[in-house]
Amino acid sequence: MWLYRAFSGNLYHNGDLPVSLSGYTQGDCITVVLDMNAHTLSFAKNGEDLILAFEDMPTTELYPCVLFYSTNPGEKVRLQNHLLCEFRR
């Protein structure tokens, strides 16, 4: 598991804490980029520049998961899948 914790911005994997990002809250937009070619996982908040969070990611299938601390009805997450392509000439 590779975890970005909302309120603190801490990142976790196997107990490691490689870097902290800014925390986020309701209304924030979090961008997650998994680059399977570079084996990296990066995050950005509200359109800011991506920050490299994890390297040496496995090349197996990975599945996103979002967990709310709250049980309030109406909590929402929107997952979008965008394929990023780079063309070189």
Domain borders along the chain are 1-89
Measured in degrees and rounded to the nearest 5, phi and psi for residue 85 equal -120, 140
What's the pLDDT at 87?
37
Q: Name the residue with tokens 């914790």.
A: 5
| Pairwise CA distance, residues 32 & 28, whole Å | 13
Ramachandran category for residue 48: left, alpha or beta (phi over 0 → left; psi -120 to 50 → alpha):
beta
- Per residue in 6-46, pLDDT (tens digit) is 888 888 888 766 678 888 887 788 888 888 889 999 988 88
* Amino acid 24: pLDDT: 83
Whether 66 has a pLDDT exceeding 90, the answer reads no
Give the length of the chain: 89
**In the CATH hierarchy, which fold is given to the domain comprising 1-89?**
Jelly Rolls (2.60.120)
pTM of the predicted structure, to 2 decimals: 0.75
The residue type at 31: T
